[in-house]
Amino acid sequence: MNTKLETIDYNLYYGNFHALADISVKFPEKQVTALIGPSGSGKSTFLRTFNRMNDLIAGTKYTGEVLIDGIDLFKIDPVALRQNIGMVFQKPNPFPKSIFENVAYGPRVTGMHDHKKLEEIVESSLRSAALWDEVKDDLGKSGLALSGGQQQRLCIARALAVHPTVILMDEPAASLDPIATLKIEDLIHSLSVNYTIVIVTHNMQQAGRVSDYTAFFYTDETRTGRLIEFGETQTIFTNPKDKRTEDYITGRFG
């Protein structure tokens, strides 16, 4: 299996604060990898490394290497990189624009202005995000008028519209009800055929349901996030090597 994303001895600092330490891991292509671990263990920060959203915070420094398709990610222009690596946020954040405009936004800012083509992209993206049937007659309606679950699927469609190869998801179902959560999980399943997905989740059952691989992050009183264990989800959940992983998964802390 090809490696899509890889980090080698990756360290991240916010000013003097050592946020992530010595992370070396390989995420396989077109698989779902879940990042689990207690709050503050650096999962989301690690996730944001891949589309360089951490760069937006003043005072971030890093050491080590981060690769996408074997290429140094920090040598790629972040604007171009983010077209290749989409992101879905914890709280649905559709723009205060119509459903159509939300999905067409990415293609538009990257230079696509042919309306016919935009319509095709909007339809196919909404279909891939399993939202088309619910909104096809209301594309002019505001994205903010949708329910929370629909908004999140709209945000997924919006990310798909720029044709990324990787989708990062930061607790995408954290603010949704169980039924909407289930829909998002089904969607993650079907998307993993074509996309490499990395998902941060606090929900152990969810990690078990949606992911092929799992990375367990942990932190001690230094608050520096470390990768404790990485492997196939099945293995991590049934036969973890590290005591801390086992304790976390069985719910002894976290």
Partner 1 sequence: MIGNARGNEQKMSGRMIADKTVKYILFISAILSIVIVLAIAFFIFRESVQAWTEIGFTDILFGGIWRPGQDQYGILAMIVGSVAVTVGAIVLGVPLAIGSAIFLGEIAPKWVQAILRPAVQLLAGIPSVVYGLFGMVVLVPIIRQINVPGNSGYGLLAASIVLAVMILPTITSIAEDAIRAVPDSYRSGSLALGATRWQTITQVVLPAGKSGIIAAIILGIGRALGETMAMIMVIGNSVIFPKPLNANPLTLFLSQARTLTGNIAVEISYATGVHESALFATGVVLFALIIVVNVSARWLVNRQSSIQTTRQ
Q: Interface with partner 1 by CB under 8 A: which residues?
A: 51, 53, 56, 79-83, 86-87, 89, 91, 93-98, 100-101, 105-106, 108-110, 139-142, 144-145, 155, 158-159, 162
What angle, 0 to 180 degrees and rounded to 10, lies between the N-to-C axes of helices 99-109 and 148-160?
Answer: 20
Quick one: 21 or 87, whose CB is closer to partner 1?
87
For the beta sheet containing 17-28, the strands, ordered from the edge strand earlier in sequence to the opposite edge, are: 71-72, 60-68, 3-14, 17-28, 225-232, 213-219, 32-36, 196-200, 166-170, 85-88
Least CB distance to partner 1 at residue 123 (A): 14
Minimum distance between the CB of residue 96 and partner 1, rounded to whole angstroms?
Answer: 5
To partner 1, the closest distance from the beta carbon of 101 in angstroms equals: 7
Cβ partners under 8 Å of residue 249, min gap 6: 204, 216, 236, 237, 240
Q: Report which of 201, 34, 231 is spatially closest to residue 240, judged by C-alpha positions.
A: 231
- Extract the tokens encoding 216: 């367990």
Residue 166 or 210: which CB sits closer to partner 1? 166
Residue closer to partner 1, measured from CB, 55 or 220: 55
CB atoms within 10 A of CB 39: 9
Q: How far is the CB of 20 from partner 1 (least distance, A)?
A: 19
Choice between 18 and 163, CB closer to partner 1: 163
Minimum gap (Å) between residue 88 Cβ and partner 1: 9
What's the first-to-final CA gap in the chain, in angstroms?
Answer: 32
Closer residue to partner 1 in complex, CB, 175/203: 175
